Chains A and B, each alone.
Chain A
Amino acid sequence: MQQYAIRRLIIAVPTILVMSLFVFGILRILPGDVARLVLGEGEGVRITTTSLEVIRKELGLDRPLPIQYLKWVWNFVRGDMGRSLTTRRLVTQEILIRIPFTLQLGVMAISIGLLVGIPVGIVCAVKQNSWMDYVLRFWSIFFLSAPGFWLGLMFLLLVVRFFDWSPPVGYSRLWEDPKNNLLQLIWPAMIMGSQSLAFIARMTRSSMLEVIREDYIRTARAKGLAEQVVIMRHALKNALIPIVTVAGTSLGHTLGGTVIMEQIFNIPGMGRLFLTALLTRDYTVIQGVVMLTATGFVIINLLVDLLYGWLDPRISYT
């Protein structure tokens, strides 16, 4: 397994390299002049050519693109993501302020998805075609279909309208002000979690239905084992592999898809950082966030693959 992990990490390097080239190139093709935006382009603003040249030189944007790219990659490899073109602060610093919120939001969402989705899927599989199955499937399809931003806005609408309340909008770290932090994050986590939940529930149901028809399940029942033991110990474990795959992918998507929730609920996370950077053409921040997310995806996928081996001893990594 160790060798497998190392092999996968080595293979990940060209993947990340190609990603870096892609994101660097795409940003340079996008219209918009970052120097103008740094100076605050807007209606009524007078920006001179001299000012633009000074800014471009300061930001290193006057150098040839290959040099800019190589410099950035070299620094990235050494852990330096550069400085924000807009604020001139370290990109690492900008990310470190915000990543706890995004991670917390993602983990809460996926936890809700797993903790609720798996039991729901099991219930649906065990009570296939019962009224409970239909109801739960209805809701899972609903949450799969409903756009997350709509759910978020509807939630805001309902709480403001009926309860004269809204989630806190400030900035509270979990370890500093847990109450405000959780009050702010629980709602978007539940909304995002509901979508993961729906997906996981359906996958669990489908996977469980396959497994509970197997001979060894019949054997377990014939041996007189309690139904709960049959389901939880024998069926679920064998059904877990596709669920773990889906959960891993969900986590990756959740972490990358927090932009809208962060915007609606005013969470100072990576999504908002990315959005702001996109609007201001802050190349270094965009590159940093994308690379971090891509690397995260690679690692999550690797962990999921390694988890297979633990779940199913038959799987070998040769």
Chain B
Amino acid sequence: MKRFPLLGQKPYGLAFVLVPLLLYVLACGCEEATPTPAATATATATAMATATATATAVPTATPTTGPAATPTPTRAGPVATPTPTAVAAPTATPTPGVQPKRGGAITQSSGTNLPHWDGQAIAWAQSLSPLYSNLFYNSRDDIITCEICTEWHLENSGKTMVFNLIKGIKFHDGREMTSADVAYSLNKMMGQIDGIISPRCGLIKEYINTIETPDAYQMKINLVRPSVMVPKVLSSYFCVLYPKGTTRENLGVKPYGSGPFILKEWTPGVVWKLERNPNYFKPGLPYLDSVEMIMISGTPAIMAAFFTHRFEHNGGLLKPAASYYVNINKLKAEGKILTRKAGAGCRPQGMFMNNSKPPFNDINVRKAANLALDRTAYGVSIWENDYVAALLYQADTEFGRPASEIWNVVAGWGTGAKKVQEIEEGRLLLAQTYPKGIDTEAMNQDNTGGQIITMGQLVQEMIAKVGIRGPIKITQGAAEADPKRAALDYLYEVVYRCQVTFDPDEMVGSYWITGGNRSWQGYANAEVDKLWPLMSAEQDPAKRKQLVRQIEEIIIVKDVAMGAMPDTFTEHFWWKRLQGAGGMGISPAYGSGWSRLEEWWLLE
């Protein structure tokens, strides 16, 4: 037998080393149609990333939706105006030709822990939405209706909302829901019960003057001014209704809801099991017998479990990493899974410049910076080729202009050779006032996964090309950043702004009007201040959209108050046997309809 001095006397000892190595190479060097959690999961595992459904969408590998591509159709649902509907929330609309079947159980993953059952005071509440009802309900088709009313209407030139409640709606403990419960819930959101203003729903405080309950089944909300905001805010899955007297301590133990499902079992932070509410007030709903929600954090665990049918719907992951999309797209093409794309949670995003301080109080400096921003490179790098043009609003959405009117049209949105030209223009523009360039400093808020910092670093490199230089100073989350923003104690930052509804009433009213409660750019324009209330009060969707367009034109194009950057999508996916499911509505965000699960049913 030939001797192998290094490995011993017998050659087949080599096999014990080579065979496993070969297996390893086969496993790692596999073809593209492989779920490869390793690529991103290292960061996931070690960076303690959670699978929270944050709006920080992760990159995908879908083909580019850059300027040359046809804009991806996005849902532009009807504007939710204060115009009331005459009926209560619609019952389920079955898929044409296929009738929903009653029965069955599903498992859904939840990426966020449920620390308690107080939806009004929680960062992500979609997992508890099936247990509750709302005053307003946002269906999967982005239609907002009053969920618990026989009818509702406006009086007093739109400043009073009058609700006639359905009789006989029962909470899970058997109590009947009355106007007093609804009023209590709204007051709790506004901090009038326990001093804590709901972080999401508390926005209604700016719109609601008083609440009256003339009798057990009638309620009136007197508004400060007519606005679509109250229905939109209250239709989000945070703004749930409790029986009068429910405290936060109560909600730490169990839910007090009236929704389609009842809590059957709860292991905190691990799993919660829901079963059908037999006394649900919407006839025929829910279809499913039970739902099991498992807390799964970590993209590899979620994707491995999904691909192997451990659960039906990825309730917990808005958008997995690019490497998973090979398999997802394959399954979609085979018709085995269904998906729904929707706009990402937060906008606008990009370079927010402090318009009240040097150097960015100079419009030429802002223009130069804006020209330097390469939107295509940003979309490829940050959103991994799955991006869409966005100014204040995402292109081709309810309030967003067509993508074709942004790319190579709006200053700074040039591509290819035009982009190179724009950068040179920016450099020359800046040199007129600052021949040696500008030294500045960026404020960058840290967030889970560090994505905002990556965005900031990329922008920093881009604007350096026109002569705007300087380091990035990282702040520890919103706790540190918000006071600086409020005090206008920064020069520029790269971030995205989030709201509860993304309605222009909220977005423009918070960030862009003089004295807005989040006027964090030091921006002031009398024309915007004049247009905003007109836009807020406008009930015709087309006219409203036109007014939003005018406001956007002033802020972004004329004043260049910020350098807006492309946006991306979120995407929910589920196995085809689950029907009636959907993803997050575009407007408003956090819609109650898609998370209620009452219209979900199983094919077999």
Contact = CB atoms under 8 A, between A and B. Distances in A.
A40 B191 contact: no
B498 A153 contact: no
B527 interface: no
A70 interface: no
Contacts of A272: 269, 297
A280 B203 CA distance: 24
A44 B500 contact: yes
A264 interface: yes
A210 to B, nearest CB: 23
Interface stretch (B4-12, B92-100, B351-359, B548-556): B4-12
B249 A279 contact: no
Interface stretch (B146-154, B304-312, B398-406, B596-604): B304-312
A268 B269 contact: yes
B539 to A, nearest CB: 26
B123 A42 contact: yes
B269 A260 contact: no
B38 interface: yes
A43 interface: yes
Contact of B267 (A86, A132, A268): A268
A31 B476 contact: yes
A266 B111 CA distance: 11
B35 to A, nearest CB: 5
A39 B37 contact: no
A86 B28 CA distance: 41
Interface stretch (B114-122, B216-224, B282-290, B558-566): B114-122
B197 A36 contact: no
A225 interface: no
> Chain B: interface secondary structure?
loop
Contacts of B268: 87, 89, 94, 97
Interface in A125-161: 129-135, 138, 149-150, 152-154, 156-161
Contacts of B199: 39-41, 45-47, 51
Contacts of A279: 48, 50, 448
A51 B197 contact: yes
Contact of B46 (A130, A149, A266): A149
B334 to A, nearest CB: 14
Interface stretch (A167-175, A190-198, A249-257, A307-315): A167-175
Contact of A134 (B7, B271, B311, B477): B7
A95 B148 CA distance: 40
Interface of A: 31-33, 36, 39-48, 50-51, 54-55, 84, 86-89, 94, 97, 129-135, 138, 149-150, 152-154, 156-162, 164-166, 168-171, 260, 263-266, 268, 272-273, 275-276, 278-280
8 contacts: A36-B478, A41-B479, A42-B54, A44-B346, A50-B191, A135-B16, A153-B42, A164-B308
Given A45-B498, A166-B308, 5 more contacts: A39-B121, A42-B124, A132-B8, A264-B301, A279-B48
